[in-house]
Amino acid sequence: MTNAKASADPPTDPFEAAPPPPAKHRFRPATKSLPRGVSPDIFGTSGPPLPFAKPHQGQATKTGLPPAAPEVVPWPVKGPTLRELMRMRPEPPRKPEPETPPAEPGPARRAGRTRRLVRIAIGVLCLVLAYLIPAWMMSGKVLPGTTVAGVDVAGLTASEAAERLTDRMSALAAADIAVKVGERRFTISPLKAGLSFDVAATVADLPTGFPGPFDVLRAVFGETRLEPRKSVNEAKLKEQLEQIAAEVDRPASRGAVVYRGREPVVVPPRSGLRLDQQAAADAIRAAYLSHTAPVELAVRMERPAVSAEVLDRALPAARKAVSAPITLVNGGRKAVLDPETIAAHLRFVPDSAGRAVRPVFDARAAVASVEKELLDPATAPRDATFRIVGGRPVLVPGRSGRGVATDALAAAVVKAITGNGERVIPVTLTTTKPRLGNAEAARLGIKQKVASYTLRHACCAGPATNIRRAVELVDGRIVRPGETFSLNETLGRPDPARGFVDGPAVADGRLVTRVGGGVSDLATALYHAAFHAGFKIVERRPHDFHVSRHPLGLDAALDYPGTDLRWRNDSRYGVLIQAYIAEGTVTVALWSTRRYDRVVAEVSPKRDVKPFGTISGEGSGCVPTPGANGFTVTVTRVFHKDGAEVKRDAPVTSVYRPQPRVTCAGSTRR
């Protein structure tokens, strides 16, 4: 068996590559024990190498035999070595080592822990004491830093705080609240509006119990600001706002065709204003005890859905409607509605869609001045009214009777003015209730005189007769709440058939004579009374020149049908007009329920004085006059209530032209 040369590839036998053991450890069996023919050199002797032994590099074999053929390996096998396989073998599980019990803390460690616990306990105790001591001192009193509407109540008991708040807040609680709507200003009395300072509820809000930790911190480092509690009587507050709304509200106008005299004019549509009473109540409640600046009250706009062009198209029909009088007939009785009377009670208004207009005739008001001419006084209805007895108004009961059926009359008038038929209308009589019943009259609140004025009227028979006739038509009239009184509508046309005669009147800046002259003295007395009673003045025009017996800036001209005196009863009460003449004077008194302590007229000095000139006249209508200078004055109406000014109207300016000195041809007067 030949020893083949060692291969460079890994041996197939893992032990083949191991180096031979050292010579001294080699196994050398005894020669005697070897079989025959076996040399002991095979066991690694130091003798010559075996013929098949692998020579070292560079060393030739001494046997002379050819080298052994390399070992044939079918294919190389790559994989881990034996050592790697040995390392990959899992290690046997280790036995868990027994746990070593923790060592007992030593005395020094235990002492440190105790000291830390003691320090924590002392800190907690200090915190508790830092809270409890001031909390105990503050309990039962209002916490420091507490104010109510700027009033310091800190450190007081509940009763002491109530006394201080009552003392400090009483003036603020009773102060009037200033409000404004646009440019108009009003004042509201808290007492009448049901507003008051609720002391008990405010004191209940004060922090007076045993305080908590956060309360103590806030008391020491901060402050507590409380709002005062308020008590509100909603019914009284609503009543005050309704009074403001009555002066502020302006309903939207759809426009109409009305008359100035006999000439129709278009009143264009107009947006309205309405006080937002709910928002106003909220604003006043919030401002009470909080603000001194005027409270702005909100209003809502109301816009009409009618165009002025629709109204313009009705002007031709409106002119035709007053082109002739209308005669009313009841058997043998007749009454005439002249064009001015028709115009005074006729208007053309838009329909519901706003695309056309229709005539509306107030037959009830129009026939009031002529109804007596159509009816038998014994059976005619009579309105309830009042008579002044012993300085007090006493109710005069009304009654039902046979009167004109005004609904049928209104329809007949509309048919007559829109058609081409005869303007003679037979009236229909029906059982008619009085316009003012007894129960309604008793609820009007007519109980005291609210204003009066006495004026010396023009001399001589003519003016006295006309004023007496006008007094008969005005005396006893009742103006309901919200109603507008027109002196021209009440008096009607001043013609001889109705008891009027010639008297002095002003026309074109000159004194002339005409039927009904002198009635402006009654108009001036009525205007003066309505002014000082505080009613809303709707229409008033001063005389062309100042009449010496009339008050400056408080006179009123009257010229039927154009120049009128109108005022509106803007109160919640009815108004009785009392008028009478005595010893050359005319007196007008208004009876109702007083709303103001007094109403004052602030009259400016005369300014822009213009001298008069001299003119000549002739004819029976010429009235000689001495002449007077022209000038301008301004009057401001101021309202007082409960001893204070509550409002004032916008100033009203009256411009008087110079009254020329008139000489009449053929007259001995100069």
For residue range 122-139, what is the model confidence (pLDDT) as tens digits? 888 887 776 677 666 667
Residue 602 to residues 169, 569, 652, Cα–Cα distance (Å): 36, 22, 10
For residue range 273-290, what is the model confidence (pLDDT) as tens digits? 888 889 999 999 888 888
Indicate the average pLDDT of the chain.
Answer: 81
**pLDDT of 77 higher than 70:** no
291/435 same-domain check: no
Residue 418 domain flag:
yes
Choose among 453, 473, 419: nearest CA to 588.
Answer: 453
d(CA 575, CA 535): 10
End of a domain among 388, 423, 443?
443
pTM of the model: 0.53
Residue 464 domain flag:
no
CB 360 within 8 A of CB 346: yes
351/203 same-domain check: no
Residue 501 domain flag:
no
One-character DSSP codes across 186-204: EEE-TTTTTEEE-HHHHHH
pLDDT for the residue numbered 452: 96
172/247 same-domain check: yes
243/285 same-domain check: yes
Percentage of residues in the chain with pLDDT exceeding 70?
A: 79
pLDDT for the residue numbered 27: 47
Indicate the pLDDT class of residue 95, thresholds 50, 70 and 90: low
**pLDDT of 62 higher than 50:** no
**pLDDT of 3 higher than 80:** no
191/214 same-domain check: yes
d(CA 515, CA 335): 20
pLDDT for the residue numbered 61: 45
Residue 479 domain flag:
no
Q: What is the dihedral of CA 347, 352, 357, 363, to 10 degrees?
A: -30
300/159 same-domain check: yes
> Phi first, then psi: what are they for 8, rounded to 5°?
-75, -20
d(CA 552, CA 604): 9
Average pLDDT over residues 230-235: 90
End of a domain among 400, 426, 443?
443
391/414 same-domain check: yes
One-character DSSP codes across 523-591: HHHHHHHHHHHTPEEEE----SS--TTSPTT-----BTTTB--EEE--SSS-EEEEEEEETTEEEEEEE
Indicate the pLDDT class of residue 53, thresholds 50, 70 and 90: very low
**pLDDT of 592 higher than 90:** yes
164/287 same-domain check: yes
Indicate the pLDDT class of residue 51, thresholds 50, 70 and 90: very low
Residue 367 domain flag:
yes
Residue 462 domain flag:
no
Choose among 341, 339, 345, 344: nearest CA to 321.
Answer: 339
Residue 518 to residues 383, 456, 461, 513, 521, Cα–Cα distance (Å): 29, 11, 10, 9, 6
Residue 410 domain flag:
yes
d(CA 365, CA 377): 18
Q: Report the b/e string of 337-346 with b at 16+ CB within 10 A.
A: bbbbbbbbbb
151/291 same-domain check: yes
152/254 same-domain check: yes
For residue range 10-44, what is the model confidence (pLDDT) as tens digits? 555 444 444 555 544 444 554 445 556 555 555 55
CATH number at residue 386: 3.10.20
End of a domain among 293, 312, 331?
312
160/232 same-domain check: yes
pLDDT for the residue numbered 22: 52
Residue 43 domain flag:
yes
Tokens at 506, concatenated = 């002003």
Looking at the 3D structure of the chain, how many domains does it have?
Answer: 3
Q: Which residues pair with 212 in a beta bridge?
A: none
pLDDT for the residue numbered 648: 93
For residue range 394-417, what is the model confidence (pLDDT) as tens digits? 999 999 999 999 999 999 999 999
Choose among 522, 509, 510: nearest CA to 463.
Answer: 522
Where in the sequence is the domain holding 373, given as residue range(s)?
319-443
Indicate the pLDDT class of residue 50, thresholds 50, 70 and 90: very low
For residue range 516-525, what is the model confidence (pLDDT) as tens digits? 888 999 999 9
CB 194 within 8 A of CB 134: no
308/406 same-domain check: no
d(CA 389, CA 442): 16
pLDDT for the residue numbered 304: 75
For residue range 619-651, what is the model confidence (pLDDT) as tens digits? 666 777 788 889 999 999 999 999 899 999 999
